[in-house]
A = this chain, B = another copy of it.
């Protein structure tokens, strides 16, 4: 059988692992595909390094030349970033190649262009590695649940921030100490912005929402808050509520007030640190692991768990896609095409329904609670539980609200800050579960 020729774009942590697996698993891959895979070329930035299992003559700095070469069947892109990745993938699809990419930034920022090109040119486009590493998550959403009605996707999709929050929870560490430790262990990069400010999670949330709701969502549509403001006091406050703080990516349908079954008013896509009870399955996701909950009308609650990053797990996802597109080429078929027929609006954060946990330093005098309760009532926010801790100068109030529009909750917090009797609003955290009180 004629070999299928693979062009690899990028040969860093993931790329070199892909090369190693292509080499070591060659016999198995051939048997599973029905034809051998052959490396046609590897595009790198600089030629001055030798790469294991790559003949020097396969290396090139001319990525565009490589992806349009006639003897290339499949293009695997693990460069990341928007350009030149976008131009390379578009050129590859235009010239009839099948494409495997791990590029979450590109798919989240400009998925419509990439998906549109796949439709236009009839090209296979697979991207399992773009979200949650080796955890098979996109394929289940794209294919297994395609006959169901997904209501909600909620998950931990960034390992770096989960490691930091886990350390803050288990050792009482501050954010900066936990970040430093994560950097020493290689879980966080020297410039951790993309992780700790939630950009990485927001890109993944955009891709998940798009697949779950068949509606175009880009990274810019995602409400995003990072974890840099999460304090040891926030984590301790959560602990006192038998809860943990996790950076959550949440994609959900907002039901229509008239209760129509499908579509609803729109979708809400957001990333922020939130409190969840320790009994929630996501609470037990430790260290740099990822896990995603999917709630669908018929399937019920499903959870997917595994390593969300790293060279080997990401390469496993890339290889799975590579076998899929290779099999499709051998069989003369192609994989599923993204359909974003639903065109649901992405609602602004202010209209999203959430719950708040609020901790206040207050003057301990009579009438304080009445004044605070009156403020909540004015914003139409109902209090689920209130607890006073300490006395006199140290008096603290902990308030957990019922569900309300985020804008009303935020306005209530603003109002609290302006009250004379409130010395400080010491912690504000969203709550993502009904059980916390």
A interface residues with partner B (beta carbon < 8 Å) = 17, 21, 24-25, 27-29, 31-32, 34, 128, 133-136, 139-140, 143-149, 214, 261-262, 281, 284, 296-307, 310, 312-313, 315-324, 327-328, 331-334, 336-337, 339, 341-342
Which of B143, B300, B317 meets A299, CB within 8 Å? Answer: B317
Taking a contact as CB atoms under 8 Å apart, the answer to whether B319 and A147 are in contact is yes
19 additional contacts, CB 8 Å, given A25-B262, A301-B307? A27-B262, A28-B262, A31-B342, A32-B147, A32-B341, A134-B298, A134-B302, A136-B145, A143-B323, A143-B324, A144-B320, A147-B318, A296-B316, A298-B312, A298-B313, A302-B304, A303-B305, A304-B304, A304-B305
- What are 8 A-B pairs with beta-carbon distances under 8 A? A31-B342, A32-B339, A134-B144, A139-B143, A147-B316, A281-B305, A299-B317, A303-B304
Contact B319 A298 (CB under 8 A): yes
A32 to B215, CA, bound (A): 11
Option from B140, B214, B261 in Cβ contact (under 8 Å) with A140: B140
**3 A-B pairs closest in CB distance:** A147-B319, A333-B333, A134-B299
- Please give, as numbers and ranges, the residues of chain B lying within 8 Å of A24 by CB-CB distance: 261
- Bound together, the chains give a CA A36 to CA B83 distance in angstroms of 39
Contact B136 A320 (CB under 8 A): no
A17, A143, A324 pick with most chain B CB within 10 angstroms: A143
Per the bound structure, the CA–CA distance linking A317 and B296 in Å amounts to: 11
Contacts of A315 in B (CB 8 A): 298
Task: Indicate which residue in B28, B134, B147 contacts A149 across the interface (CB closer than 8 Å).
Answer: B28
Q: Report the Cα distance A284→B280, complex, angstroms.
A: 11
Closest beta carbon of chain B to A413's beta carbon, Å: 36
Question: Which single residue of chain B is at the shortest CB-CB distance from A322?
Answer: B147
Given contacts A307-B300, A312-B300, A317-B299, contact A147 B25 (CB under 8 A): yes
Contact of A17 among B34, B298, B316 (CB under 8 A): B298
Q: Are B316 and A298 in contact (CB under 8 A)?
A: yes
Residues in B neighbouring A27, C-beta threshold 8 A: 262
Q: How far is the CA of A231 from the CA of B296 in the complex (A)?
A: 37
A21 to B147, CA, bound (A): 8
Q: Chain B residues with Cβ under 8 A from A327's Cβ? A: 336
Judge whether B261 and A316 touch: CB under 8 Å: no
Could you tell me the distance between the alpha carbons of A319 and B136 in the complex, rounded to whole angstroms?
Answer: 19
Nearest neighbor of A298 in chain B, beta-carbon distance: B316
Find chain B residues with CB under 8 A from A310 CB.
300
Among candidates B32, B331, B333, B339, residue contacting A31 with C-beta atoms closer than 8 Å: B339
User: Which of A136, A262, A323 has the most C-beta atoms of chain B within 10 angstroms of its own C-beta?
Assistant: A136
> Residues of B contacting A303 with CB < 8 Å?
303-306
Contacts of A317 in B (CB 8 A): 144, 299
Q: How many Å lie between the Cα of A324 and that of B143 in the bound state?
A: 7
Q: Let me know if B300 and A306 touch, CB within 8 A.
A: yes
CB distance B323 to A147 under 8 Å?
yes
Task: Check A145 against B316 for contact (C-beta < 8 Å).
Answer: yes
Question: Of A25, A214, A318, which is in contact with the most chain B CB atoms at under 10 Å from its CB?
Answer: A25
Among B21, B146, B296, the residue within 8 A (CB) of A323 is: B146
Distance between Cα atoms of A25 and B214 in the complex (Å) = 14
Q: Which of A27, A149, A337 has the most CB of B within 10 A?
A: A149
Q: What's the Cα separation between A47 and B396 when bound, in Å?
A: 70
| Separation of A145 and B25 alpha carbons in the complex (Å) | 13
